[in-house]
Amino acid sequence: MNIVRAHILVCRGTGCSSAHSEEIFKRFEEELKAQGMADEVKMIQTGCFGLCELGPIVVVYPEGAMYTRVTPDDVSEIVSEHIVKGRIVQRLLHTEKDSAEVVADLSKTKFYEKQTRVALRNCGVINPENIDEYIAVDGYEALGRVLTEMTPEEVIDIITKSGLRGRGGAGFPTGLKWKFASAPAPVKYVCCNADEGDPGAFMDRSVLEGDPHVVLEAMTIAGYAIGAHQGYIYVRAEYPIAIHRLQIAIKQAREYGFLGDDIFGTGFSFDIELRLGSGAFVCGEETALMTSIEGNRGEPRPRPPFPAVKGLFEKPTILNNVETWANIPRIILNGADWFASMGTEKSKGTKVFCLVGKINNTGLVEIPMGTTLREVVEEIGGGIPNGKKFKAAQTGGPSGGCIPASLIDTPIDYESLAAIGSIVGSGGLIIMDEDTCMVDIAKFFLQFTMDESCGKCSPCRIGTKRLYEMITKITEGEGTLEMLDEMEELCHHLQKNALCALGQTAPNPVLSTLKYFRDEYIAHVVDKRCPAGVCTKLLTYEIDPAKCKGCTLCARNCPADAISGKVKEVHVIDKSKCIKCGVCMSNCKFDAIVKK
């Protein structure tokens, strides 16, 4: 029998795959074969490690050395130095930005130190396409315990006592939702929302790519708890790796008897099918999602009746998102008190966030509820790049609000964020620096929700368009102070009258920026100026005579021929011709061009 003396883990999630991790994996296989070590070193593909900024990531055990930003050309050196000679390749190890300290184990970095991985516990640890590796880390043990030792009522009770709330955005108590659906009925369904449409969000995708079996196990547990025998995972078609791994996981679970008839010999039967979505944001709303599974156009339904009473195919249905499901097996195995010991009094457990935007450590983070925004930005996130100042954070995606720098010490939990006009949402966390125009940010998110509106109800269909028209006028210097009051009034009307959460929450970015960054709106309206220098129609470019050397680079590169001047003489920009593209500024080597 061959003895495996080393394991090489390569992230093959979407982010690292886009940076050639598949080629890296194949290169390792080729190099090991060439060295005659293919039987001594085991190659393992994993899901996302979390620190996407440093991908592709390769981990070599037993040392636990974690190599970052690996390229295919680095593979031969890792094999020849580390695997053959036992010498860690120092240049590929992570270096902390503020101390220049080389860190061989990423779990000891500031990015990971304040994290608590529950939903992400297996991501970057196991091969998601190998059910035996999932079983080796207690996989399907919770299902076995539930089916052989617990009643459905006991399962619902432990989920209720844990305090787990839905991680898809609304934050509704999971146990209570299951209890509503537990009333006797001949046919019931269990659904998973893996649609994930928020810009900059990839939490659910990463769980499906790194640990698909946890969702299958959790949904089967829920099926037993409410008396359902069929589940559906609604996943967007733009997630090919997640879909592929779910298909493999479902096939393996059926072969092992964890899905199908008579699971664990208990007489309980449950199976799961995939349904692919076409990427409509509105299908993240539970009733629209169910309508889409039924084969109809994804539009929300009036509530009540709620899905627990009349959901998929008009049968009692429970629906949770991927992250919510990923918590269920650990709660069953570790107990309700274990989960409730994390987080705050009303927001229990951990929450996964996609940390993106103007931040050094972009990636996937899982933190206990109640962790402050400052801890996330300055410690886990590593601060703002290029010495810029933190200006705001957008939580909750297009449905959330913008949190200003003055509130950076706000705890991240359902109640605290709601109190300042934002939401936890599904977990998008976009960081903005001093160069961000908050009016433009509100416009961006509003355009997204306007485009994604299904059009079923007039408050959303018409209201978001009117809001967008007004905020566009403001960014183009055509707004009025009266328009700000009109926008607020329309926002409140939308919140009260839209049919579903898409329309009801669409005004949040506008309202929060009006509240915390009203001075920027006033500058756009009164001064006809964008303080951040972002809104194109309010910009002007000028050449500083004191700095201009007459090198002609600006004139030669201007696509509109708007710059004139002789060699070694001060140049001038013709504002009537200038298209405000910024090419002149990017080409000037003397910082002579000023944007105002």
pTM of the model: 0.90
Query: Quick check: 162 and 204 in contact, CB under 8 A?
Result: no
Q: Characterize 231-245 residue by residue with b for buried, 16 or more Cβ atoms within 10 angstroms of its Cβ, and e for exposed.
A: bbbbbbebbebbbeb
CA atoms within 13 A on the CB side of 329: 28
Instruction: With CA atoms as reference, report the closest residue to 351 among 204, 463, 234, 508.
Output: 204
254 with 336, same domain: the answer is yes
Q: Is 81 exposed, middle or buried (0-12, 13-18, 19+ CB in 10 A)?
A: middle
Residue 92: strand, helix, or coil: helix
CA atoms within 13 A on the CB side of 241: 23
287 with 190, same domain: the answer is yes
Does 511 fall in a domain? yes
Per DSSP bridges, beta strands 401-404 and 390-395 are: antiparallel
Q: What is the rounded CA–CA span in Å between residue 244 and residue 437?
A: 40
302 with 383, same domain: the answer is no
Residue 225: strand, helix, or coil: helix
Q: What is the rounded CA–CA span in Å between residue 386 and residue 391?
A: 14
Q: Which domain covers residue 367, as residue numbers?
A: 350-433
CATH number, residue 96: 3.40.30.10
Query: Quick check: 414 and 367 in contact, CB under 8 A?
Result: no
Name, in order, each residue with C-beta under 8 angstroms of 503's C-beta and a sequence gap of 6 or more.
449, 453, 457, 459, 460, 463, 464, 494
The one-letter amino acid code at 103 reads: V
175 with 295, same domain: the answer is yes
Beta bridge partners, 393, equal 403, 431
The one-letter amino acid code at 518 reads: R
Q: What is the pLDDT at residue 370?
A: 95
Does 534 fall in a domain? no
The parts of the chain modelled with pLDDT lower than 70 are 1-2, 96-107
Kindly give the residue spans of alpha helices, DSSP state H, lying in 96-185: 110-113, 131-136, 141-149, 152-162, 174-180
Domain count along the chain: 5
516 with 551, same domain: the answer is no
Does 422 fall in a domain? yes
Structure token pair of residue 546: 């004191």
Query: Quick check: 369 and 350 in contact, CB under 8 A?
Result: yes
Q: What is the rounded CA–CA span in Å between residue 445 and residue 199?
A: 9
**62, containing H or E segment:** none
Q: What is the pLDDT at residue 102?
A: 52
